Every structure is written in C-alpha cells, then in structure tokens.
Chains A and B, each alone.
Chain A
C-alpha cells in the first residue's frame, strides 16, 4: 500500500493549486492523481486568452496559465503526480486507481476531490427530435477543434449563453464556420459580460434572449432546428416557432460538478449546487474528505478556482497536522433570490469569504445578511446570475453569532 498524507484527485487548476496550498502549509507527502497525460485539465483545450488577470496580473491562454501555475510546484519533491490514472473507487481513505500499470491501491490521511465539472448533455433537457449527428456540447466541440484540429460544423447554432458556448462562437467563426445565432431561455445572458461583447457583438452574432430550441431535425446529419420563444414563466409560446437551417447545434446549457466518487462514498450533497456540502475548511460531511474548485461549485474564472483550491489545500494540511476542528458549526440559510451559498456551514474562528449566486438580475439591491448577533446590508449594483458574488465577513462580525446565518437579496 502506498501511503500519503494527502491525495488530491484531479490535476487540473483546482488540484494543482490545492497541492501548492498543502505544501505551503507543511505537508511533505502529497500525491496528485490525474487521468490525463498532463496537468491542467480543461485549461489545456482553452487556447483563448483571458486567464490569470487576478493571479498573475496578465492575460494568459489556458495552457499558459496551467504551465505558470504548475511552475510554482514543479520543483517540489514533496508533490508527486500520477498521470494516466483514473480513481475508480474511494473506500474510507483507501483509493483504487486504474492505470496502465495495473489496479493500484493508495491510502491517505486526507483526500481532496478536485475533479472539475461536466457539461449538461442534450438528454438532460429532453431535447426533442432526431438522433442525427451534429449535436455537441460546446466543450466537446472545443476539444475536437483545439486538440484534434477538426470543426464539428460549418453552419452553427448555439443553445445556451454559457461562457464555453460564447467562446466557441468566436473560435468557430475565426476558423471560418458561420455562427448563425445563440439562443438563451432566460431573459438575460448566462455568460460573462466581456464574452458577450468580445465573442458575439464583435462578430455580429445575434443573441436571442427568451428563446430555446424546440426540436432538432435531420435523418443523418443535422439539417435544421426549430427555435421557439418563451414567456416570462419560461413556457413555450405556440406559434413563435422559427426554422433555422444549420449543420451543427452546440449546447452550452450548464455545468454540473463532477461528484460521482463522493456520491458513492455517501457524502452529503447540496441539491442546489449538486455537489458536496462543505464547511469553511472545504471539508465535506465525511471527515478528511475535502472538495474544491468546479467540483464544489462552478466558478466564473479559473483564478477563483485556484484561490479557493489553495485555501482547501491549506485546510487539508491543517487537518492532517493539527486534527479536526470540533467547534460548533453555524448553518447558512438562503432565501429571496440567493440560489446557493458556499460554504454551507462554518466555524466561528476566522474571517470567511462566502460565495453565492442569485437567481435573476438585480439592478439596485442590497445583500442582506442577518442572524442572532448580526444584521448587515451590503449595497451592490447590478447583481447578475452569471457572476458569482463574494462577501467577506470578519471574524469580529461573526463571533457573537448564534443559531443560523440568513442570506437574501433586497431590491
């Protein structure tokens, strides 16, 4: 049995940052298990710029960001990487790994899940119509184009205004494909404002808000889609159908934290994030199992993933070296416009940065945080669902808190 202080599952942006955080805080035997042949995860197929402004004060491509972050740990003999290796089971703190050397067993005092997220497929929204080729998630199209050098369509329509879809609208346009439009079922865009500008407006690609794809048609290859408008309750408006000819439909309809391993372990799941419930140390409901990055909740920027994961690495190191924090946990409660919050519960020992999202656009509003011992209104202009909100509460603000902490938006 190979024994480590900490095993990190996933060598993407979260895993590498978690390894750095754990190393900086005193761990000497850290293993990162990665199923791909290199570190960096999805960053390796994100060849566009826009990564690293917060972390490195410069705009980098995905692979450069991955390289630059990896450079921070590459000489550390305390951190080992196991590539081309898939964790197929976690049993208590025993990890089964399938790789070309065989079925290997590892044991760790703490485990960090940094497994990223996956894209919602067509089947998850019950997209109606034929089962022709030409329908891909945006990330799959990105992999085909950026890793294998092939376009999956020449006349492209995109469903969903998530960032990967927007990035692919620009990328495929640059490669010569015609991007006909983007439909978004919500009355607002789900992508970052800069991506709407740089990926759609600069390329004259129309964004159809309050629209969705009713059905897809084509016996062999996609031939056309039927676009339909929805009302303010997201119900389809009959008679508003439009036929749009295209040979490719990209889906950018949401990312889901990849949490199969911890679900199998029996970790408690937050139905809102569809991921683990964690405390302010990123520890899940099972002692010694930590979760961070996009496998905890989907972030806007890789910089935030790195930041969070470095903290998770630090917390895991603290746990290994100093043991469990047994102090009471305060529960977060969300209502009125707040769709989720991380961490879901917390100890009263440090400053804590809370991260959450809202369920619609708020122009002028307050974030209202209240509980027994705290009542705070934080003014924010223009809160949108596509941008994660962060609120830092100081240790002194929290220390008299009893019971639970409530979060809401007041317009």
Chain B
C-alpha cells in the first residue's frame, strides 16, 4: 500500500514527489507515457514570469508570485540552470501604453519590480525592438528555465530518496475502498494526487463526475539556433490582450530563441501537431521585434496547455471524495507557479493527513555533466578519468558519449532518443540529430541491453529502424 500516488509526471507532479521525498512516506508516481515531462511541461515558453500579469485574486496570481521567488533556490538545490534575464512588455500605440499603466498598478500592488522606459531607452537595451515600440514596461525579475530539466532533476532526486516511478502506466480505473483507492485493480494507495494535465478530468471521471472540464489549448513555437549576434537578451512580450500574453520572443537557457505561442482550442487532447499557428506567429512576432533571423530556424513544436473551464488553477481536495486531491488546470503561468503549487499541496494538504517525520539520510542528486560549462582543465581531467567524455557524439551541441551514458544510467534515466535529447541535448542543434541520432541509438541499445531495432524516437511504438537490410521485408 502506498501512502500517496501521484498521477502524472509533469513538472507539478514531479515537484510534489520531490518535496514529499523529504518525509518518510511511501510515494508512487504514475505516468502513462514512456518518459517524464512529456506533456505540457515539455513544450511551453520555458520561462518564469514575474507575476505582473494574472488577474488579481486568482490562484494563478498567488502561485506565480510565490513561484518566481522560489525558483533561484529550487534550481540551485536541484543543480539545474536558472537565469534571471528580465522581460520587456512592448507597447506600440497609445491604447497599449494605457494598458501598460494598468500593469504598473498590478506590479505596485504585488511588489513586482518594474520600470517604465520610453521606446528610445528600451531600444538602446534591445536594438531589435520593432520601430513602432513606443513605451516599454521592464520586468527585471523575469527568469528563464528548462522546465523538463527541473522535472527530471526533481524526480531523479525523489527516486534517490525512495519515491517510485512507473512509466507506461495508464490509469484506467480507480475504485474507492474504505481506507484506500485501488488503481487498475493493481495498486493500493491511501491518497491520490491528480496531476494529469489535459487528462485531469478524465482521471476524476473514473471516480465521480468531474467538477471541471479540461480542454487542450495548443501553442506552437519556432526554435532558432544559437546566434553569434544577440537577437534579444530578455523576454519580449507584446501588450497582453483578453486572449492572453501574446506571441513572445524568449531566449533559452542553452542559447536558442523561442518564438511563440499562438493559442488554439483543439478537440483531441493528445494532438501536439504543428499547424497554421506557425504562420500566425510569423506575422504576430513582427509587432514587437525586427530583424528576426528566420534563416536560423531549426525546429518547430507545439505544446498543449491544460485549460479548465473555471479559468483558474483548481487545487484542492475533492469535496465529495476524501483523499483525492485535484491539481488541475495548470496552464500558463504553470511553469512559474509549479514550485509554489507543489509546496502548498505537500505542506497544506498532504502533511495534514499523516503523522510523519523527516528522513535523516536524505540524498542529493549530482548535476548533469555540462562540458560546455566547465574549464578546459576540468574537461581534460574528466576525459583522463573516463575517455568516453572525449568522444564527441553531437557535433552541433558538442555532447560527448560520456554525457549520454550518464543520463541513460541515472534514476529517471533516458530510454528514448528524445529522452537523451531532453537530458543532454544531442539533436537539439542545427542538424537536428541528422549526424548523431544513429550514434545515440547505438549507445542507448548498448546501455539498455536492447537490440538497436527496439529503440524508440519518442512515444511508445515510435520505432526508428523498421527492417534489417534484405531481411524481414
């Protein structure tokens, strides 16, 4: 019997597991996909908003502000990168300038640091702002982060401290027993935390008619390669409208630029295909920035935001079913809010359910080895100890065989080509895996003791090699 079972290994579920792992509970994380961070967590703007934007009085507002403050320490603890780079909200008309004044009021009310700049002042700092930009709200506390790195690191550390993770485990039935739940006639647990993203309502419907309906809102993005000349050094927002925060230009932790997203309601909650949104982004992005290096475009993707019809996060114990906890509707600013949501769910809900004590033998994870972040001397030493670190596999991102083996053989390790890519970046560069994918595939097969033909690209059954030459056909 588990004390707590978390359904969904996105950033919120994983951080809940991470905070719980300090205590002596028996915790299980269930994930229907073959890797963690495969839903909304893996495809978004990869940033931590300052908290200037959400409507006053909402949970989105509360947790965004708390989350922004928590990120630097959280990332230090988890040994992942976090950078405070600031953001500009760029107004291009008198009407939009008035909207900036409303945002300023919210900043004052919420203690969010801000500064108002004239168009000219702002363009000195960001020369690629569009000519029409006339006034800018600067938000220096805005940060950037790689959300899947936070998720993977959180689960790795949680697992080092006893949390269990089951991948490829889809929850199809939940029965409420007297003192526990029975999942798929298989797993007994005292408490369920529903972090299933776009499928939160489907999970709840297994027990009762869900008090909310989850929809998927698709957001598409362009990814640009590393640039030798800075395009933008901060996040650039347009002035928000009733539809949301608009199309952004976002520098990423690893030196790429994201352009997006749009926002489209879609019927199929698992349809993360790119579509016409890309054309929309190409048009909209010109409102705030110019000289966009589209010739450096290397990738496009779409993410699905879990939107619920209550228009706010829904974080509480179910009002009918005891010990069933909803963490639903975690759309934007979900990444920003996730640490604060997770901490509150643990401290304000879950800890009240048990007598508990803290573990005295808590283990910290080691950081992923980032050879691009260490000195030549350190690199040399690393290679002398293990020659695999000298063998470059990904030429674009300069990733060595040693780094790839490391991310496969950890707790919450990579099992797919995409899993390796998310953890240490081979395939994230300008050739998009054209050169390194066959090598990564061989390393995965060796390390996992599988045949090369069994290795998958991303989701279950996404095999790469279909037949041996002159055989099997």
Which residues of A approach B to under 8 Å, CB–CB?
A: 35, 84, 86, 88, 96, 98-103, 118-119, 121-124, 126-133, 136-137, 139-140, 143-145, 147-154, 175-177, 215, 217, 219-221, 247-248, 256, 260, 263-264, 266
Contacts and interface: CB of A to CB of B under 8 A. Distances in A.
B461 A221 contact: yes
A219 B460 CA distance: 10
B468 A150 contact: yes
Contact of B392 (A88, A149, A247): A88
B297 A220 contact: no
A103 B376 contact: yes
Question: Which of B274, B276, B400, B442 has the most chain A CB atoms inside 10 A of its CB?
Answer: B274
Contact of A220 (B228, B442, B460): B460
Contacts of B462: 132-133, 220-221
A122 to B, nearest CB: 7
B473 A98 contact: no
B387 interface: yes
Interface stretch (B47-55, B284-292, B317-325, B433-441): B433-441
B278 interface: yes
Given A103-B383, A131-B272, A220-B460, A98 B470 contact: no
Question: Which of A149, A153, A264 has the most chain B CB atoms inside 10 A of its CB?
Answer: A149
Given A98-B379, A98-B383, A124-B298, A151 B469 contact: yes
A98 B390 contact: yes
Given A118-B435, A149-B469, A126 B274 contact: yes
Nearest to B375: A103
Given A99-B390, A131-B458, A123 B223 contact: yes
B395 A123 contact: no
15 contacts: A96-B376, A100-B391, A123-B432, A128-B273, A128-B275, A133-B457, A133-B458, A140-B437, A144-B438, A150-B452, A150-B453, A151-B473, A154-B466, A220-B461, A221-B462
Question: Which of B300, B400, B433 has the most chain A CB atoms inside 10 A of its CB?
Answer: B300
Interface residues of B, number: 56
Contact of B379 (A101, A103, A221): A103
Contacts, number: 155
Contacts of B453: 150
A133 B469 contact: no
> What 10 A-B pairs come out closest when comparing CB atoms?
A123-B299, A121-B432, A133-B457, A100-B387, A86-B392, A150-B465, A176-B473, A133-B462, A100-B390, A103-B380
Contacts of A175: 469-470, 473
Interface in B362-388: 376, 379-380, 383-384, 387-388
B467 A154 contact: yes
A176 B470 contact: yes
A151 B467 contact: yes
Task: Say whether chain A's binding surface is mostly helix, strand, loop, or mixed.
Answer: mixed
B473 A131 contact: no
Contacts of A154: 466-467, 473
Interface in B409-468: 430-435, 437-438, 442, 452-453, 456-468
B194 to A, nearest CB: 24
B43 to A, nearest CB: 10
B396 interface: yes
B32 interface: no
B25 interface: no
Given A102-B390, A152-B465, A177-B473, 9 more contacts: A35-B395, A121-B432, A123-B298, A123-B299, A130-B272, A133-B463, A154-B473, A175-B470, A256-B430
A217 B396 CA distance: 28
A88 B384 CA distance: 17
B222 interface: yes
Nearest to B456: A133
A84 B387 CA distance: 11
B398 interface: yes
Contacts of A177: 473
A100 B384 CA distance: 8
Contacts of A256: 430
Nearest to A274: B295
B101 interface: no
Contacts of B298: 121, 123-124
Question: Which of A86, A131, A153, A264 has the most chain B CB atoms inside 10 A of its CB?
Answer: A131
A118 B431 contact: yes
A219 B269 CA distance: 12
Contacts of B384: 102
Contacts of B299: 121, 123
Interface string B390-409: 11100110101000000000
B301 interface: yes
A119 B429 CA distance: 12
Given A103-B376, A103-B379, A126-B297, A143 B438 contact: yes
Question: Which of B275, B464, B468 has the most chain A CB atoms inside 10 A of its CB?
Answer: B464
Nearest to B43: A131
Nearest to B377: A103
B228 A98 contact: no
Nearest to A140: B434
Given A98-B379, A133-B464, A221-B461, A148 B438 contact: yes
Contacts of A121: 298-299, 430-434
Contacts of B222: 126
Contacts of B379: 98, 103
Nearest to B222: A126
A137 B437 CA distance: 11
Given A35-B392, A100-B390, A145-B469, A219 B270 contact: yes
Interface in B79-117: none
A220 B459 contact: yes
Contact of B398 (A86, A131, A147): A86
A186 B466 CA distance: 31
Nearest to A265: B228
A144 B473 CA distance: 16
A30 to B, nearest CB: 23
A251 B432 CA distance: 13
A260 B396 contact: yes
A131 B466 contact: no
B432 A152 contact: no
B466 A152 contact: yes
Nearest to B223: A123
Contacts of A215: 273, 275
A224 B343 CA distance: 45
Contacts of B380: 102-103
Contacts of A128: 273-276, 278, 300
A98 B430 contact: no
